[in-house]
C-alpha cells in the first residue's frame, strides 16, 4: 500500500492553506464549476471506481456500488447545484428597534481547508460525500481514504489529481499514522467517519489545534416492530437494510425488538425475505464479502460467544445454492461471504449486545410493552439511527418523542440517508455534527455577522459620561423590549 510521506502531506496542507487565505471568498461560479468537475469525475469513471471497490472487497457487484455509493453522490450533487445560489446568498436578519435604522445580515463564507478521513465500507460515497458540501461552501479539501480499500483509495487519488489542482482538492494515502498526522494539522474543519473508539482519538488529536470536527460514528441502531405492522413487509425491509453490503453499514439495524410471541413468525418471514433478495450467497456478487479475514473472524467470535452464553443462533443457509445460477467468482472475497444469522435469547453480557456488529448478524429481543423498549434504548448510548414499523400514528409519535437518535426511518430502513435535504449525523456516542444538503453547506461555512450602522444611528446616546440623559434613554429602551 502506498503511503504519502509526512513531508508531502505537510506540503499539500500548506499549499491549500495559503490558497484559502489568498482567496477567502470563492465566487459562486467557481464553486459550481468545481462541483461540475466532480460530477464529471463520477459519471465518466463510474465503472473504474466500481471495479476498484470490487477489487478491494473481493466480492461486491458493480450494481451494489452504483446504488449505495455512486447514485447517492449523483443525487447529492444535483440537489446541491440546484440550491447553491440560495444557500450562498447573504441572509438578511431583522434589526431590533433599539438598533434601527442600522441594517444587518449573515454572510456565509468558506472556512478554509477541510480534512476528510473516510472509511472502507462505502469507500466512494463516504469519501466524496463530505467533499461535495465542502466544495459547495468554497473550501479546499484534503482527503485521506481508508487503507483497507487500497485500490479505491489509489483510484480516487489518481482521478482527483486529474480533475483538481492540489491546492483545490487532493488525496493522501496511508494508514493510521497518516490519519493521525492529518488529524493534528491546523485544519479549519475535520470530518471523520468510522468507529466510536477511533473517533475519540481523532477528536483528541484535533483538539490540540482547536480544530472543529464532524464525527460520523456508529453504535447500535435499534429497529422496532409494532404489534400491528405488516410482518412480511417489515421483514423484507429489515433484511435489505441489514444485509446491504453484508451488514457493513453504520446505519444498519443492529438489533430488533419484536412483540413477544412473534419471534417464530418473524424468523420465517425474515428467512423468506433473505431468500428472495439473495437466492444464493456463495459466489453471488450482490451479497458482499466481509472486508478482511480479521473482520470475518471477529464476527464469528461474536456468534460463538453468544452460543456459549446460551443464545439460539438460526443461521440462514443458502438453500437455493445447489439449483440456482452457478456461483460467480469475482475475486478472493468468496471465502468471506458470511451467511446471515438471527440470534435469539440475547442478554447484555454477550459481546453481540455490547459492540456494534457491522455484519449480517441480527439479535432479536421479544418485548411486551413499549415502555420496555424505550427504557432499553434510553439506558444505552444514543444510536445513529432508529427504525420503527407499524401503522399506529400515536405509537410512532411516542417513539419519536421519547427516544433520541441521529436519524429515523419509519416503515423502512436506511432511507433517511438518501434524502438530500435531511441532515445526516449522530448524537452523543454516535457522533456530532451533520452534513448532506444545506446542513452540510452550513457545517462547512462560517456565518459572519455583519451590521451596517446608519448615519442616523443614535448609539452615541449611550456613550459616557453617564448621567440623567443616559438613565432616561435606558428607561425608554426597557419599555421597548
- Looking at the chain, the whole-number percentage of residues with pLDDT higher than 70 is 97
Handedness of CA 381, 382, 386, 388 (dihedral sign): positive
pLDDT tens profile 358-417:
999 999 999 999 999 999 999 999 999 999 999 999 999 999 999 999 999 999 999 999
Which residues on neighbouring strands pair with residue 344, listed in sequence order? 312, 364
Q: What is the set of domains in the chain, with CATH numbers?
A: 6-217+434-446 (3.40.605.10), 222-424 (3.40.309.10)
Q: What is the pLDDT of residue 1?
A: 73
Q: What is the pLDDT of residue 349?
A: 96
Can you list the alpha helix ranges (DSSP code H) found in 124-230?
125-136, 150-163, 176-183, 196-207
pLDDT tens profile 198-219:
999 999 999 999 999 999 998 8
Q: What is the pLDDT of residue 168?
A: 98
Catalytic residues: 216, 250
Cβ burial 406-444 (10 Å sphere, 16+ → b, else e)? bbbbebbbbbbbbebebbbbbbbbbbbbbbbbbbbbbbb
Cβ burial 59-82 (10 Å sphere, 16+ → b, else e)? bbbbebbbebbbebbeebbebbbe
The whole-model pTM stands at 0.93
Average model confidence (pLDDT) across the chain? 94
pLDDT tens profile 269-280:
999 999 999 999
Which residues on neighbouring strands pair with residue 365, listed in sequence order? 257
User: How many angstroms separate the CA atoms of 300 and 326, rounded?
Assistant: 26
pLDDT tens profile 295-340:
999 999 999 999 999 999 999 986 544 444 444 444 678 999 999 9
Q: Provide the edge-to-edge strand list for the sheet that holds 222-225.
A: 312-315, 341-344, 361-367, 255-259, 222-225, 385-389, 407-410
At residue 108, the 3 state secondary structure works out as strand
Q: What is the pLDDT of residue 387?
A: 98
Q: What is the pLDDT of residue 320?
A: 46
In whole angstroms, what separates CA 86 from the centre of its chain? 24
What integer is the mean pLDDT of 9-13? 98
User: How many angstroms separate the CA atoms of 21 and 99, rounded?
Assistant: 33
Cell numbers that stand for 212 in this block: 472543529
What integer is the mean pLDDT of 227-254? 97
Cell numbers that stand for 293 in this block: 479475514
Amino acid at each position: 500500500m502506498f503511503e504519502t510521506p509526512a513531508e508531502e502531506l505537510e506540503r499539500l496542507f500548506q499549499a491549500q492553506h495559503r490558497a484559502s487565505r489568498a482567496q477567502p471568498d470563492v465566487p459562486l461560479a467557481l464553486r459550481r464549476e468545481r462541483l461540475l468537475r466532480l460530477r464529471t469525475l463520477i459519471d465518466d469513471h463510474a465503472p473504474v471506481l466500481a471495479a476498484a471497490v470490487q477489487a478491494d472487497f473481493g466480492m461486491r457487484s458493480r450494481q451494489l456500488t452504483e446504488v449505495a455509493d455512486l447514485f447517492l453522490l449523483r443525487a447529492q450533487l444535483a440537489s446541491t447545484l440546484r440550491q447553491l445560489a440560495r444557500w450562498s446568498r447573504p441572509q438578511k436578519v431583522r434589526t431590533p428597534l433599539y438598533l434601527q435604522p442600522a441594517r444587518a445580515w449573515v454572510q456565509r463564507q468558506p472556512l478554509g481547508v477541510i480534512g476528510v478521513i473516510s472509511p472502507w465500507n462505502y469507500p466512494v460515497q463516504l469519501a466524496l460525500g463530505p467533499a461535495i458540501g465542502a466544495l459547495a461552501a468554497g473550501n479546499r479539501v484534503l482527503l485521506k481514504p481508508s487503507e483497507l480499500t487500497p485500490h479505491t483509495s489509489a483510484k480516487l487519488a489518481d482521478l482527483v489529481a486529474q480533475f483538481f489542482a492540489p491546492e483545490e482538492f487532493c488525496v493522501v494515502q496511508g494508514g493510521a499514522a497518516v490519519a493521525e498526522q492529518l488529524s493534528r494539522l491546523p485544519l479549519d474543519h475535520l470530518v471523520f467517519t468510522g468507529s466510536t473508539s477511533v473517533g475519540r482519538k481523532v477528536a483528541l488529536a484535533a483538539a490540540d489545534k482547536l480544530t472543529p470536527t464532524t464525527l460520523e460514528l456508529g453504535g447500535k441502531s435499534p429497529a422496532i416492530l409494532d404489534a400491528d405492522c405488516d410482518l412480511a413487509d417489515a421483514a423484507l425491509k429489515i433484511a435489505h437494510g441489514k444485509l446491504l453490503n453484508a451488514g457493513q453499514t453504520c446505519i444498519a439495524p443492529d438489533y430488533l425488538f419484536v412483540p413477544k410471541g412473534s419471534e417464530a413468525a418473524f424468523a420465517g418471514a425474515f428467512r423468506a425475505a433473505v431468500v428472495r433478495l439473495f437466492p444464493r450467497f456463495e459466489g453471488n456478487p450482490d451479497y458482499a464479502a466481509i472486508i478482511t479475514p480479521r473482520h470475518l473472524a471477529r464476527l464469528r467470535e461474536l456468534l460463538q460467544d453468544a452460543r456459549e452464553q446460551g443464545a439460539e443462533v438460526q443461521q440462514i443457509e443458502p438453500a437455493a445454492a445447489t439449483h440456482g445460477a452457478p456461483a460467480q467468482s469475482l475475486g478472493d472475497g468468496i471465502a468471506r461471504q458470511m451467511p446471515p444469522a438471527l440470534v435469539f435469547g440475547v442478554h447484555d453480557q454477550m459481546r453481540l449486545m455490547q459492540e456494534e456488529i457491522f455484519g449480517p448478524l441480527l439479535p432479536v429481543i421479544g418485548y411486551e410493552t413499549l415502555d420496555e423498549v424505550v427504557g432499553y434504548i434510553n439506558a444505552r448510548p444514543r444510536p445513529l439511527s432508529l427504525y420503527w414499523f407499524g401503522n399506529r400514528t400515536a405509537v410512532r409519535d411516542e417513539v419519536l418523542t421519547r427516544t433520541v437518535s441521529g436519524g429515523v426511518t419509519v416503515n423502512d430502513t436506511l432511507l433517511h440517508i438518501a434524502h438530500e435535504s435531511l441532515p445526516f449525523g449522530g448524537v452523543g456516542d454516535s457522533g456530532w455534527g451533520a452534513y448532506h444538503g444545506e446542513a452540510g453547506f452550513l457545517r462547512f461555512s462560517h456565518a459572519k455577522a455583519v451590521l451596517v450602522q446608519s448615519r442616523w444611528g443614535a448609539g452615541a446616546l449611550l456613550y459616557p459620561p453617564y448621567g440623567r440623559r443616559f438613565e432616561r434613554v435606558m428607561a425608554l429602551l426597557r419599555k421597548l423590549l
